[in-house]
């Protein structure tokens, strides 16, 4: 089964055509604490602890064909992330949804990558240890939709490595279920993958249990059953979506401790992310799944079903591009 060329469709299909927008938002829009601006102008104050200490929670939701996907789920997860890090979103859930929607409208894109966060902010009394003394701040931006894996890469499948140099930051250090800015382990494992001429990496914990890939959850399929780690990873919305799609297809799923060895012994594998959906893996540590190149058949089915259902309006929230945004108000 061939992979839906989602990126090509987004670039060419009339339903994805960009709505009229102010040229200042050509590259994207942003919301900085209390006002909208272009992404090019958007700055984080250099003394905000969100920058100095990666002291923040964030989330990313996508828009395709002018509809958010699972917007409520993303906002719900974001609020839980904030709670785990003792952060308070200065905006209500409804206000957050409004800000995200307005940012999309300003850019006019029908396919959008929507990023937002709440940071610790700055502390007027200068006492770093007094977390309650900080005024938490909201920042966000919207840019045209971004792919971890492009059409060509999804069609042939990623070649990945299990990182030998790095383990994922453990939950007892930084809770991975609270979406956070602590990425250095993942970034450097990407460098390790590139050095061996591979596309992406997967990290384990120190005992070799699979954790997650940079910005993505890891899945594999063995004898028609689907496996993904139960811990040490973000509880991805695309991961949750994939488990639901598996149920719809009658594929048994196992959310449990799984090892890198099990991944290497699998029949198929893929990663999932808001930035790219379901992305097939071709090989891991030079072991080509199924012995032949390309996405496995169940992976391809899941991949295509994901885009078909999304474009069919599943769990979608429409963006009304016709009503103008008042950038003077919040």
- Which positions lie near a copy of itself, rule CB under 8 A? 30, 32, 39, 42-47, 49-55, 85-86, 115, 120, 126, 128-131, 139, 141, 143, 146, 148, 165-170, 172-174, 180-188, 190-191, 193-194, 199-200, 206, 214-215
Residue nearer to a copy of itself on the CB measure, 142 or 221:
142
Task: Give the C-alpha separation, 284 to 132, whole Å.
Answer: 45
Which residues touch 248 (CB under 8 Å, ≥6 apart)? 305
226 C-beta neighbours (distance < 10 Å), count: 25
Residue nearer to a copy of itself on the CB measure, 85 or 227:
85
R_g over Cα of the chain: 20
- Please, what is the minimum distance in Å from the beta carbon of residue 25 to a copy of itself? 14
Residue 181: DSSP 8-state: S
Residue nearer to a copy of itself on the CB measure, 25 or 115:
115
Angle made by CA atoms 183, 140, 75, in degrees to the nearest 5: 85
- Please, what is the minimum distance in Å from the beta carbon of residue 318 to a copy of itself? 26
- Please, what is the minimum distance in Å from the beta carbon of residue 308 to a copy of itself? 26
Residue nearer to a copy of itself on the CB measure, 179 or 310:
179
Element (H, E) at 308: helix 297-311
- Please, what is the minimum distance in Å from the beta carbon of residue 254 to a copy of itself? 26
Helices (H), 251-296: 260-264
The arrangement of strands across the sheet holding 67-69 comes to: 35-38, 29-32, 134-144, 112-123, 56-64, 67-69, 316-318
Residue nearer to a copy of itself on the CB measure, 67 or 137:
137
Residue nearer to a copy of itself on the CB measure, 152 or 247:
152
Residue 289: DSSP 8-state: G
- Please, what is the minimum distance in Å from the beta carbon of residue 45 to a copy of itself? 6
- Please, what is the minimum distance in Å from the beta carbon of residue 42 to a copy of itself? 4
């Amino acid at each position: 089964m061939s992979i839906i060329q989602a990126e090509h469709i987004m670039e060419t299909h009339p339903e994805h055509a960009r709505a009229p927008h102010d040229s200042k938002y050509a590259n994207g829009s942003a919301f900085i604490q209390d006002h909208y601006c272009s992404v090019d102008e958007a700055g984080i104050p250099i003394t905000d602890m969100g920058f100095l200490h990666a002291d923040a929670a964030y989330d990313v939701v996508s828009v395709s064909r002018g509809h958010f996907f699972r917007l409520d789920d993303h906002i719900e997860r974001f609020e839980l992330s904030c709670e785990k890090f003792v952060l308070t979103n200065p905006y209500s859930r409804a206000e957050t949804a409004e800000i995200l929607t307005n940012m999309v409208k300003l850019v006019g894109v029908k396919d959008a990558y929507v990023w937002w966060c709440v940071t610790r902010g700055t502390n007027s009394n200068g006492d770093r240890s007094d977390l309650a003394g900080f005024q938490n701040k909201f920042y966000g931006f919207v840019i045209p939709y971004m792919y971890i894996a492009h059409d060509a890469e999804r069609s042939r499948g990623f070649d990945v490595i299990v990182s030998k140099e790095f383990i994922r930051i453990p939950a007892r250090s930084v809770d991975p279920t609270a979406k956070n800015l602590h990425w250095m382990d993942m970034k450097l494992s990407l460098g390790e993958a590139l050095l061996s001429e591979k596309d992406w990496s997967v990290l384990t914990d120190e005992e070799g249990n699979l954790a997650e890939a940079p910005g993505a959850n890891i899945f594999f399929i063995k004898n028609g059953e689907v496996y993904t780690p139960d811990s040490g990873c973000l509880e991805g919305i695309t991961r949750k979506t994939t488990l639901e799609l598996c149920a719809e297809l009658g594929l048994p799923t196992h959310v449990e401790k799984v090892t890198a060895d099990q991944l290497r012994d699998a029949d198929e594998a893929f990663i999932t992310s808001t930035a790219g959906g379901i992305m097939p893996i071709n090989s891991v540590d030079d072991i080509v799944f199924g012995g032949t190149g390309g996405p496995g058949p169940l992976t391809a089915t899941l991949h295509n079903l994901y885009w078909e259902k999304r474009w069919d309006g599943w769990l979608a929230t429409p963006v009304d591009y016709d009503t103008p945004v008042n950038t003077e108000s919040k």
